[in-house]
Structure 1
């Protein structure tokens, strides 16, 4: 699905523990192996940076560096005169709140790689009453998305928090035309709009994976069978508020990607429709040749 797009613009909105990091990494690794990209950046909250660095290294052989408030100055000192941190290192995991500041914003925009993953993307959505910090994050992502050749993956377990304008602000980063989608996408007259949106949206719950594999599979919260006990009442209420746009597009997408998978597959086996190759040797994080 993702690899049919050029560039890849996708909102990955699977539940916690289903495997969003693996899905994003599979896409990045495949594009690197094909030679379609040479660099990538992950934008995330600082507390998730070490996790991303570890996941990229152990699962995909990518040695990334973390550019955080506590490391940015040191990494900058290691650069050649006039060289940007973001140009020196091929693979970076960056604090979004660092690069949204005036000190780093323009440097990142000028040297941003061709493939960008935004984790916890809901925290950058723009909407009424969401505050100045979100506005700054969204303006940065909007500027990144203006490059029509840039691959952009938005990753979040909570794409819709009950605010329709915030959800649609994320969709606009994938395709500006989504700003004109009707609020109600039901009916035959909106079939084309649903199909278009479904090509840019992935949302699977733990129950979807359980039903897909016809077996209990390991997850961070235990087996799929008992995972519902880990959701709080507020989380369930939020899920019931999920936009009809999101629900209909997800159902449409599910019909497009279903296919046979062995019952003993791992928790992220629903990604198997992407071509998976044996793990290659690690790629260095230093400057590209």
Structure 2
């Protein structure tokens, strides 16, 4: 399936289905199908060898949020499949899907048969990388994915070698949304109990400064930078977000510019 005709085929399938809400797109080397919600039930429409057919049986797909296929860079299918093969180590029977991943977040995924590592892509066709949290590009991607479109955040925390987590307020007091970006999976979100009474702008997060602090403190602790866990939250004394990190049992505090402000927040 080449990128030139992919969008046109999707549009043909949508029209054939009666313009039903699309909840899934499947693309293989020889076929393209969409799942649409018709009358509250999902149905499958498939293009193969120039012909369009609807499935005799309903799709077994569970309930999923509809999306607009026009929001996804399907014209980049060949490049996406090549990138997925490079990252997974396999190009056998590749299947590209567009489907809801978590709480309304719709992504593109590429899997293979026999199964190899599933590779995830954003709507614009950019790959969701494995994260090296001790590198500037890795931390920048992790923070960008974890903050998403949040305008205010209550806390950011880093679990060494595992994930960056961002807590954001909700309309319900005492309930937050925690969005987690792990090293090898796209960000996902869950609601949980938590305090979001004080918040700050995610624009104040500086990944290069954060990585520098991890490197500096790791040298003092005789550890790897990736092993240095930390949290960032708004400090009432300095009225700004402060990063707190443990160095051999002693907590040090740094402002957004990387200045040690431990003595000022005690």
Q: TM-score, normalised by structure 1?
A: 0.23
**Which structure is larger by alpha-carbon Rg, 1 or 2?**
2
Name which structure has the greater RCO, CA cutoff 8 Å, separation 6+.
1
- Structure with the higher fraction of residues in strand conformation: 2
- Structure with the higher fraction of residues in helix conformation: 1
Q: TM-score, normalised by structure 2?
A: 0.25
